[in-house]
Amino acid sequence: MFRQRSFWVYTLCLAVVWAVRLVTVFLFKGQSSGHVFLLVFGGFCLGWISITIARYLYPPAKRWILPQRQ
């Protein structure tokens, strides 16, 4: 449970950082650099979405499912 909550907190923090960076680039570098940065951001979002889907669809490794034998 804590692992899932930390993932969503990390995702929220990444969204805030990307938003600040996008605003900063558009304000100081102009629209041409901003559009290039938006393409990079779009690629990052596609990767992050695929990671999130994989976390929910694929089962975890067996060592996390089975109890540890001593």
Asked whether residue 36 is assigned to any structural domain, the reply reads yes
Contact predicate 34/21, CB 8 Å? no
Q: Which domain holds residue 47?
A: 2-56
With 0.75 as the threshold, say if the pTM is over it: no
Using CA atoms, how far apart are residues 22 and 1, in angstroms rounded to an integer? 32
- pLDDT tens sequence across 17-70: 999 999 999 999 988 888 999 999 999 999 999 988 888 888 766 666 666 555
DSSP code at position 70: -
Considering its fold, how many domains does the chain have in total?
1
Asked whether residue 35 is assigned to any structural domain, the reply reads yes
- pLDDT tens sequence across 34-46: 899 999 999 999 9
Asked whether residue 64 is assigned to any structural domain, the reply reads no
Asked whether residue 63 is assigned to any structural domain, the reply reads no
